[in-house]
Each structure stands twice: as C-alpha cells, then as structure tokens.
Amino acid sequence: MRLGIRNSQSRFPSCSGAPKLVLLCMLALSPLVSYAGTGDQPGNAQPDSGLYLKVRLLDHRKPSALKPEDILEGELAHSVYTEDRELFPAGSRVRLTVQELEHRRRVPNDHWPWVIKFFTPRHENYPVFQSATVFLTDGKEVPLHVSLLSLSNKIEIHAQTKSQGGAQTASGAEPAQAVTTGPAARNSQSGRKPAPVAVFEASLPGNALESVGKLPASSPASSSITLPTGTQVKIILLGGVSAAKSHPGDSFQARVIEPVRQDSRIVLPAGSILDGKVAKSTPPRSLSRAGSLYLRFTGLTLPGGRGGPIVASVSGAELDNRSHTRMDSEGGLRGGHPGKAWMLIHVGVAAGIAKVADDGTQLLIEAFVSTATDASTAGTARIAATCASGLFMITRHGRDVILPRFTEMDVLFDRPVSVGAATSGTPSQ
C-alpha cells in the first residue's frame, strides 16, 4: 500500500516497521558476512600423536538429539594403526557412551548462502565422548580414551582423469564428481538415510597396547625403497584451509593415517607428517562466482625424524555430505554452482529490499517535498528499488571451498620418492 496520507502525523512509518527497514538496508549495503571461519585458523598445527578412529555409526540420530549416557554402536570404517603396527582391523565393532553435551561453535560449510548463515545460530549442542570399547574377533574388549573430532554424514569426491572428462557411464550419464562409498552408498541405494560417521582421536590406557600386540604387522623397510609415481597415501589435515581465508604460500600439515606397503613391507608408516602449501586460491567473488583452492605437498617427515622434499597433489577428499565442492582433473577444489534454493533465497531477499527501497524512497521524498505526490514519486522510487535490488544481486558471492581440520584426503606422489633408513627422501627427477 502506498503511503500517501498528507497530514504531518502520518508522514513517517510506524515504529513496528522500522527494525525491518533498518535490517534490510543493512543487508543490501553491507559486504558479505563471513561465517565462523574454517573452525580453526589456516596454517600449521601441532602433529597429533593419538590414534585415528573412524567409526560408522549404526544410530541415525542427529548429534543434537543425543543425551548423556546414550550408548551408540558402530564399526570401524578403516583399520587403526600406530606407525607400522595394525591395532584394530576394519569392521571391528565399537561401543561409545555419551558423557555429556557441550555448547560448541558450529562447523562451517558451503551448503547455504550467507543470508541463511547470518540468521543461523553460531553454536550447537554437541556430544562429548570420553571412553569407547573396541570388540575384536577373538572376543577381546579393548577400552580406549577418545575425543570426538567430527560427527556428520560424509561423501567422497575424487579427481577425474582427463580420459574420464568426456566419458559417460553405461547408462549414458556423466560420471559423478562426488561418490558415496561403503555402507553409506548401500543406504542411499536402498532409500535409507546415510549413516553418520564419527571421527575420534584415541589413546590406549596403561599397558593396553600389549593386549593387542598379536595382530599381524610388517616390519618397516631397513633399506632405501623408492615409492613410484602414483603411490596413494591417505592423510588427515592438521589445520583447516579454505578458499576465502587461505592465501598462496600458506603452509599446513597433514598426518598419514594408513601405512604404505611395498613387497609386504611397510615403507611409509602411519604417523608420518606431510608438509603442504596453498599453491593457488581464489576466494568467492561477486556475481555468485565460486572460490577455488589448489593444494600441493612439498615435504615428508617420518616418525623417526628422517624425511625430505616430495612432490604430491590431492586426488580425493571426504567432505560433509551437504558440501557442493567439486574436484577437477588436477586435484583442484572448486565450489559448486549456485543451485535453485540458493538463487531463490537471494531473489527473495532482493525482492524484499526492492519493496523497502521503493516505499522508503517515496516516503522520504514526500517528507521533504511538500508538493510531492504518489504519482510524481513513483518513478523515482522504482529506480531506487531497482538499483538497490540489483546491487544486492551483483555483490553476492559464490560458494566457498572449506576443508576443516581433520578432513580426510587422498594424496598422490607426482614423482618417485625414496624412503628408508639410508635415504633423505629426496624425490627423483
């Protein structure tokens, strides 16, 4: 409804509409609000020395729905190693007990635009676990001290080779960039909700390590062995990185979570540290253009302290199932294109801004120009509304690329690497 009443008492809007006017004007004129960072500052992190436990839960409840003393059952998604020794095989049953709930900062993601994140609570209730029990096939029960690192549904994305770029599957569809594997894939095919994955840092109490020492393990190589080009290593990031906050040259570290074997010998033990750098980063830009991130690994340090330079790149990553991040053939990570929901939200906000700008401009003109009428101010108000809504749409940024701390990734050696007692780990030319 046009505000065209001429008496002086009705020239200004009521107080009830003022907060909405101020809020929408702030949204239109303010720059992009970044949401909570990456969970921690990009860069170096102290190498963690605990065990890495990845548990696929059988309980599909949301983390916020859990209560103290709830018991969760699950199975190990990966074998658990300590350097050159396998402690627990994949598939071992795990029992977890919720100690309490804590109010912690919400982990950021690239699922929703900033307009939604701005009104989303910055904190959430999160379960705290302090103890777990692993059940081995021989009947042993091994207690663990645990600390929860992350809890969410996961998908895996992989770099597509150049030959796959234009290839199609047997059904004629383009090969998917994001692939869900394991039990999550079976649940998806059956129509069930994917099982959440809980990642823990764990430690064995007292002399419990001796009780699991009978599992088969290979001896580390005593002489120099060369790992060929294309050798894949599974790692976790020890510091968060993102396209919006990381810059070329920023350093970070990652930890090897599965040993690399060659000829039945362990060449690269679990716990080895990879040093990496951000090779290229492009933050999300206006016109809804997404960000991109390229990571390179340049150094290797074995648990004993030996090491040297390497040349390696990312070949895969495990992300939150809501992530729209994609990976190109060179291992570069790119934010996905804005979807329908993303665009509808921005269009809705732009329409609200246009309405407020239209009515507000007309109100201001009539307040200061005594001869102004609805008809004479309508054109100017529409121009102001179009400019305000257009400015809002143009300045919207695209999706970010967010890799929180403890993101699980696959790395490929781009050159042969020599490792062992008699080498410094210098890559072959």
The whole-number pLDDT of residue 211 equals: 61
pLDDT of res. 296: 96
CA distance 166 to 187: 29
Structural domain includes residue 195: yes
Q: Are residues 297 and 198 in the same domain?
A: yes
Q: Compute the distance between CA of residue 224 and CA of residue 217 in angstroms, rounded to an integer.
A: 20
Q: Please indicate, yes or no, if residue 41 is contained in any of the structural domains.
A: no
Q: Are residues 199 and 330 in the same domain?
A: yes
DSSP letter string, 171-203: TSPPPPSEE--THHHHHHHTTPPPPPEEEEEEE
pLDDT tens digits, 25-63: 444 444 433 333 444 433 333 445 588 999 999 988 888
Any idea how long the chain is?
Answer: 429
Least confident of 278-282, 324-328, 367-371: 367-371
pLDDT category of residue 427 using cuts at 50, 70 and 90:
very low
Give the residue carrying structure tokens 């600390």: 147
Higher pLDDT, 24 or 408: 408
Same domain, 123 and 23: no
- Residue 91 contacts residue 75 (beta carbons within 8 Å): yes
Considering the domain boundaries, does residue 134 fall inside one? yes
The answer on pLDDT for 87 being more than 60 is: yes
- For residue 209 the two structure tokens come to 């390590």
- Band the pLDDT of 118: cuts 50, 70, 90: confident
Give domain status of residue 428, yes or no: no
The average pLDDT across 161-173 equals 38
pLDDT tens-digit series, residues 225-246? 888 999 999 999 999 999 999 9
- Report residue 189's pLDDT band, with 50, 70 and 90 as the boundaries: very low
The CA-based angle 234-237-241, given to 5 degrees, is 135
* Whole-number pLDDT of residue 199: 92
Flag whether pLDDT at 162 surpasses 70: no
Q: Radius of gyration (Cα) for the chain, nearest Å?
A: 27
**How many Cβ atoms from other residues are within 10 Å of residue 138's Cβ?**
7
Residues 404 and 320 reside in one and the same domain: yes
The amino acid at residue 86 is E
| pLDDT value for 209 | 62
Alpha-carbon distance 143 to 94, whole Å?
10
Q: Are residues 306 and 351 in the same domain?
A: no
Burial (0-12, 13-18, 19+ Cβ within 10 Å), 292:
buried
SS (H, E, C) 230-274: CCEEEEEECCCEECCCCCCCCEEEEEECCCEEECCEEEECCCCEE
Distance CA 214, CA 73 (A): 25
Q: Are 278 and 293 in contact (CB under 8 A)?
A: yes
Q: How many helices (H) and strands (E) does the chain have?
A: 7, 24
CA angle, 369 then 374 then 377, to 5°: 60
301 and 372 inside one domain: no
- Highest-scoring range by mean pLDDT, 176-180, 200-204, 252-256, 347-351: 252-256
Cα(141)–Cα(208) distance, integer angstroms: 10
Rounded-to-integer distance, Cα 147 and Cα 15, Å? 50
* pLDDT for res 49: 57
Instruction: Tell me the two tokens of residue 263.
Output: 């000829």
**Res. 328 pLDDT band, cuts 50 70 90:** very high
Q: Are residues 178 and 112 in the same domain?
A: yes
Same domain, yes or no: 17 and 58 = no
> Does any domain span residue 371?
yes
CB 76 within 8 A of CB 86: no
For position 262, what pLDDT does the model report?
Answer: 83
Q: pLDDT digit string (tens) for 195-222?
A: 789 999 998 886 666 666 544 444 444 5
Give domain status of residue 74, yes or no: yes
Tokens of 186: 């079976």
**Contact in structure between 128 and 100 (CB atoms under 8 Å):** yes
Residues of the domain holding 136: 51-165+174-338+399-419
What average pLDDT does range 85-112 have in this prediction? 87
pTM: 0.73
- CA distances to 1, 12, 365 from 17, rounded to whole Å, are 13, 10, 18
Query: Averaged over 85-113, what is the pLDDT?
Result: 86
Residue 310 domain-assigned (yes or no): yes
Q: Kindly give, in sequence order, each residue whose CB lies less than 8 Å from that of residue 88, ignoring residues fewer than 6 positions away.
A: 76, 79, 80, 134, 136, 142, 212, 215
**Same domain, residue pair 235 and 358:** no
Cα 34 to its chain centre, rounded Å, is 15
pLDDT digits (tens, 9 = 90+) for 372-392: 787 888 888 899 999 999 999
Average pLDDT, the chain: 77
pLDDT digits (tens, 9 = 90+) for 253-274: 999 999 998 877 888 999 999 9
pLDDT in tens, 269-284: 999 999 999 999 999 9
Q: CB-based contacts of 7: which residues, under 8 Å, 6+ apart?
A: none
**Residue 33 corresponds to which amino acid?**
V
Residues 390 and 295 in one domain: no
CATH of the domain at 255: 2.40.128.260
How far apart, in whole angstroms, are the C-alpha atoms of residue 245 and residue 238? Answer: 16
Furthest CA-CA distance within the chain: 94
Residue 98's nearest CA partner among 143, 74, 128, 124 is 128
| Chain centroid, CA 338 distance in Å | 17
Neighbour-count burial for 201-227, b at 16+ CB within 10 Å, e otherwise:
bbebeeeeeeebeeeebbebbeeebbb
- Number of domains within the chain: 2
- Identify the pLDDT of residue 224: 73
Give the best-scoring range by mean pLDDT among 59-73, 139-153, 187-201, 241-255. 241-255
| pLDDT (average), residues 315-342 | 90
Query: Is 325 found in the same domain as 348?
Result: no
- In this predicted structure, what is the pLDDT of residue 263? 79
Q: Minimum mean pLDDT among 108-112, 173-177, 245-249, 416-420: which range?
A: 173-177
Per-residue pLDDT, 420: 64
206 and 351 share one domain: no
Whether 316 is in a domain gets the answer yes
pLDDT tops 50 at residue 426: no
